Amino acid sequence: MDKIPSRWDANQAKVITDLRQQALTFDCAKDQLAQLKVIQSSLQWFHLYSESKKTKDVDKLLDTVRGTVNEFSKRPQPVSAIYCDIKRKLMIVQVDIAAKAIQGRF
């Protein structure tokens, strides 16, 4: 049964859309750590919900995003503008890829 992909879920669809918005509106000129904590909270919610629902296939899609966010948040803050911009763009791309896969289920 682990090979069968999970079905579309309205709660996961909402949170992945929230994550896309959080990544897109990430502002390197503002408190970076506070913004990262919001993203981490959404990622944790998604993980706990997916774990409870037993949709590990979908949760695994966000492992790369979690790695990027965790590494970014462990850096001494604030980071340089260039580093922040690179990480912001990376988060946008990673969350967008995950969102297309999550939203594309039926």
Q: What is the pLDDT of residues 7-64, one digit of tens each?
A: 889 999 999 999 999 999 999 999 999 999 999 999 999 999 999 999 989 999 999 9
| Torsion of Cα atoms, 59 then 87 then 80 then 29, to 10° | -80
Query: End-to-end distance of the chain based on CA atoms, in angstroms?
Result: 17
- Global pTM exceeds 0.85: yes
State how far the Cα of 48 lies from the Cα of 39, in Å rounded to an integer: 14
Structure tokens, 67: 């790695």
Contact between 7 and 106 (Cβ < 8 Å): yes
Three-class SS string for 29-48? CCCHHHHHHHHHHHHHHHHH
